[in-house]
Amino acid sequence: MAILLIDSYDSFTYNLRSLIETSTGEKVITIHNDSIPYTSLLEFLPYFKAIIVGPGPGHPSIASDVGLIPYLFDGSLEVDIPILGICLGFQSLCLSQGCDVSRLDLIKHGQVYPVNHFSEHELFKGVPQGFESVRYHSLYVPELNDKLVKLASTVEEHNHKEIIMGVGHVDKPWFGVQYHPESICSFFGGQLVKNFMSLANEYNGKLRHIKAYDDVLLKGLCKKTEIPKLITNEVREAPQFFKFKEIDNGKKAIEICDLLNSKESEFVLLNSASFPGDWSIIGLPSASTSVYISHSTDSPDTVTIKKNSVTTQVSLNGGNIWSYISEFISDKLSKNLDTEQGFPFIGGLLGMFSYEEGEFIHVSNLPKLTSSEIPDTKLVYVEDCILIDHSTEKTYITTLNPETDIEIISQLVQSEHTLINSRLSIPTTKIVKPTYEEYTAQFSKCQEYLSNGDSYELCLTSSTEIHIPNNVTSWEIYKTLTLKNPSPYSAFFKFKDCCLISSSPERFVKWDDKHCELRPIKGTVRKTPEMDFNKASAILNTAKEIGENLMIVDLIRHDLYSFLSRVEVQKLMQVEEYTTVYQLVSVIQGQFEKNGYQGIDILSKSLPPGSMTGAPKKRSVELLQQLENRRRGLYSGVCGYWSVDNHSDWSVIIRSLYHYVDDVQNDDSVSVWRIGAGGAITVLSDLQGEWEELLTKLDSALQIFRLN
């Protein structure tokens, strides 16, 4: 026997599923509200003890927002099924019984309120008065009619108005709550679900016969939402070949790369020279063993491979880029090599994925960024690396290739070199920034979507173009940026068709065989001489900043719970200091299970990063696409590595510059580089504040340029 959970494409659904499973021990089958027609669902209903109708964007009266949900409440069944509606589900229940659904005058997204309950109702048994719960809603039910009884409420602080937070039907086994019991900041959510199931069991015992759980039948029902695993084969115990050598070398990663650059030796660099990344990784592509993998969302069905200087187009044969790279690496993949040195990377894939490579984006509706197709996935497989451990200041040369002569690399790295003077600033011929007028119009559109209940938070972003004369090299730009804005996830990737220079402060996901860790940043305060840590902490400890961060923490928990059953928030909203800003950071960890999903499954289904979209993710991405009407390209994507021993780390591409090979002006004498910048817009945002925040973030990279 099971519980049916109906998802309205919300970003918190799997948090709810986990809450139901852990509090009741029941199996949960999840479907979308439009997975099947209601008439087809009818034959499955006798197998379910109860239905939980989850939250979601939109309005309960809009058919495309709620799908089959209204039919559940039309009273046409001979014997009713117990139903608990949450937020949009609650509003749908109230609307179906003839109550109005109106818009709140002060909308609450990600805000904690004390809730009181009444008449000692079973639904709130064991729940104290004034229990804290998170509200994510624009709409509310102002008044109940005689079919529904008020079971809980909260009070608005601005007008002391009571807002209904819980209802029960007078003669049907239907209940609803307006708040989100599954949020990380809600209490007694599990108790509520447990109480609902006791009520449901009591009702079922008297009136319903529930059919025994039928795995095949019910799996057929949820076919649409089940995600296949990307790695299916047994991975080897250890890499086929691995060798390393510690070298005596005082050079920093940037000095080694400068040396390689001066010798025209190819390299890619992940330069985590400061907390929380404590290693720098230099990948050394080689003509014989390296493989370049490119994929463009404009040609979704093929991937371009370059190996031994030969380029081939490979059909994905019905798969996608994720199945391709998983297959590519699967015969090389081994269990974590737990070396004494704790190498994060021993060879494998290094590179990046663009925003458009993520879910829910309809690229064909967007204008192209350059005249030719741009890569949305750009990876290089390398077997030779230089690794620098910043905690011990030790340098290692590593290889997966028995043919590699580590001595040759050691000698190269150890050869005499002084850092070639970096430029204090980079000359530009033109900088095209977003305009305040355009931003104002987009900001007010965001507010409209937020107040209609279509989104709880929208990460609105802009693009700035920088025209740089071609006599300035990308490596020079990198050196200047990393000097002015050192960051934990600094990176330099130069490929034939694109280049990325990142000074990102934000980890997206890191994984090994056992865990994955996500580290969203949301909440930003500019550093000035007057702004110290304590003052910034006070600003970051307000409803606006907490709400922004909380929404993304809940969204990421959902992304992880869609694959894993053990997810933990290890840090909730801590203030961290960076070169130009203070940021509010949370850390969420998920644990992998034996023979279950792995890190690559999570990465493939969690892009774009929630901190760059807002929540609910699907609807927010769609709205942002309409609003921004441009490709974000590498900005808002991720860059990092996947080691063949299944250690992996990806950062969010922000505070970064990027360039595509065709993006040139004036007969190729000037290259166009781009920087994206933006921030989360919520109902508590103010236009001026958000605009300044955007400029602050933009400045973290823009500060290195001067107009010629």
Ligand X SMILES: NC(=O)CC[C@H](N)C(=O)O
Q: Is 475 in the site for ligand X (CB under 6 A)?
A: no
Q: Is 134 in the site for ligand X (CB under 6 A)?
A: no
For ligand X, which residue of 83, 139, 260, 516 counts as binding (CB under 6 A)? 139
Whether residue 506 lies in the annotated active site: no
Indicate which of ligand ISJ, ligand X, none lies near residue 654 (CB less than 5 to 8 Å, by partner kind).
Answer: ligand ISJ
Q: Which of 643, 650, 639 is nearest to 347 (CA)?
A: 643
For ligand X, which residue of 7, 56, 277, 612 counts as binding (CB under 6 A)? 56
Q: Is 282 in the site for ligand ISJ (CB under 6 A)?
A: no
Distance in Å, CB of 637 to ligand ISJ, minimum: 12
Q: Which is nearer to ligand X, 11 or 656 (CB)?
A: 11
Helix, strand, or coil (residue 656): strand
The two tokens of residue 77 are 């069944």
C-alpha 251: how far from its chain's center?
35
Distance in Å, CB of 510 to ligand ISJ, minimum: 16
Indicate which of ligand X, ligand ISJ, none lies near residue 88 (CB less than 5 to 8 Å, by partner kind).
Answer: ligand X
- In the shown chain, the binding pattern of residues 382 to 401 toward ligand X, with x for contact by CB under 6 A and - for none, equals --------------------
Indicate which of ligand ISJ, ligand X, none lies near residue 55 (CB less than 5 to 8 Å, by partner kind).
Answer: ligand X
Q: Which of 560, 611, 548 is nearest to 589 (CA)?
A: 560
Q: Is 58 in the site for ligand X (CB under 6 A)?
A: yes
Contact 269, 492 (CB under 8 A): yes
Decide the pairing of beta strands 243-247 and 394-399: antiparallel
- In the shown chain, the binding pattern of residues 508 to 537 toward ligand ISJ, with x for contact by CB under 6 A and - for none, equals -------------xxxx-------------
Q: Is 87 in the site for ligand X (CB under 6 A)?
A: yes
> How open is the CA angle 132-99-78, to the nearest 5 degrees?
100
Distance in Å, CB of 153 to ligand ISJ, minimum: 32
Q: Is 137 in the site for ligand X (CB under 6 A)?
A: yes
Indicate which of ligand X, ligand ISJ, none lies near residue 680 (CB less than 5 to 8 Å, by partner kind).
Answer: ligand ISJ
Relative orientation angle of helices 599-606 and 321-330, to the nearest 10 degrees: 160
Indicate which of ligand X, ligand ISJ, none lies near residue 68 (CB less than 5 to 8 Å, by partner kind).
Answer: none
- Residue whose token pair is 């107009």: 707
Distance CA 518, CA 682 (A): 22
Q: Which is nearer to ligand X, 6 or 303 (CB)?
A: 6
Q: Contacts with ligand ISJ in 633-692 (CB under 6 A)?
A: 654-655, 676-680
Distance CA 614, CA 612 (A): 6
Residue 482: Cβ within 10 Å count: 23
- Residue whose token pair is 């034996």: 594
Q: Which is nearer to ligand ISJ, 181 or 523 (CB)?
A: 523
Indicate which of ligand X, ligand ISJ, none lies near residue 453 (CB less than 5 to 8 Å, by partner kind).
Answer: ligand X
Q: Is 606 in the site for ligand X (CB under 6 A)?
A: no
Residue among 117, 121, 169, 180 flagged as catalytic: 180
Q: Contacts with ligand X in 394-453 (CB under 6 A)?
A: 453
Whether residue 156 lies in the annotated active site: no
Maximum Cα–Cα distance for the chain, whole Å?
Answer: 86
Whether residue 87 lies in the annotated active site: yes
Distance CA 75, CA 72 (A): 7
The residues near 247 (Cβ < 8 Å, ≥ 6 apart) are 395, 396, 397, 410, 413, 414
Residue 313: Cβ within 10 Å count: 11
Q: Which of 487, 448, 706, 671 is nearest to 578 (CA)?
A: 487
Residue among 59, 121, 182, 385 flagged as catalytic: 182
Taking CB under 6 A as the binding criterion, the range among 133-141, 487-495, 646-654, 659-667 that sits at the site for ligand X is 133-141
Contact 461, 609 (CB under 8 A): no
Indicate which of ligand X, ligand ISJ, none lies near residue 137 (CB less than 5 to 8 Å, by partner kind).
Answer: ligand X
Contact 2, 26 (CB under 8 A): yes
Contact 87, 182 (CB under 8 A): no
Q: Which is nearer to ligand ISJ, 204 or 611 (CB)?
A: 611
Q: Is 11 in the site for ligand X (CB under 6 A)?
A: no
The two tokens of residue 405 are 């002569």
Distance CA 123, CA 128 (A): 12
Query: Secondary structure of 95-130 in the HEC alphabet?
Result: HHCCCCCEEEEEEEEEEEEEEEECCCCHHHCCCCCC
Distance in Å, CB of 677 to ligand ISJ, minimum: 4
For ligand ISJ, which residue of 506, 554, 576, 622 counts as binding (CB under 6 A)? 506
Residues 418-441: b if buried by 16+ CB within 10 A, e if exposed? eeeebeeebebeebebbeeeebee
Indicate which of ligand X, ligand ISJ, none lies near residue 136 (CB less than 5 to 8 Å, by partner kind).
Answer: ligand X
Indicate which of ligand ISJ, ligand X, none lies near residue 347 (CB less than 5 to 8 Å, by partner kind).
Answer: none
For ligand X, which residue of 138, 304, 326, 474 counts as binding (CB under 6 A)? 138
Q: Which is nearer to ligand ISJ, 27 or 433 (CB)?
A: 433
User: In this structure, what are the phi and psi dihedrals at residue 32, rounded to the nearest 5 degrees?
Assistant: -80, 160
What amino acid positions are annotated as catalytic residues? Answer: 87, 180, 182
Interface ranges with ligand X (CB under 6 A) = 55-58, 87-88, 136-139, 453
Interface ranges with ligand ISJ (CB under 6 A) = 459, 461, 506, 521-524, 611-612, 654-655, 676-680, 697
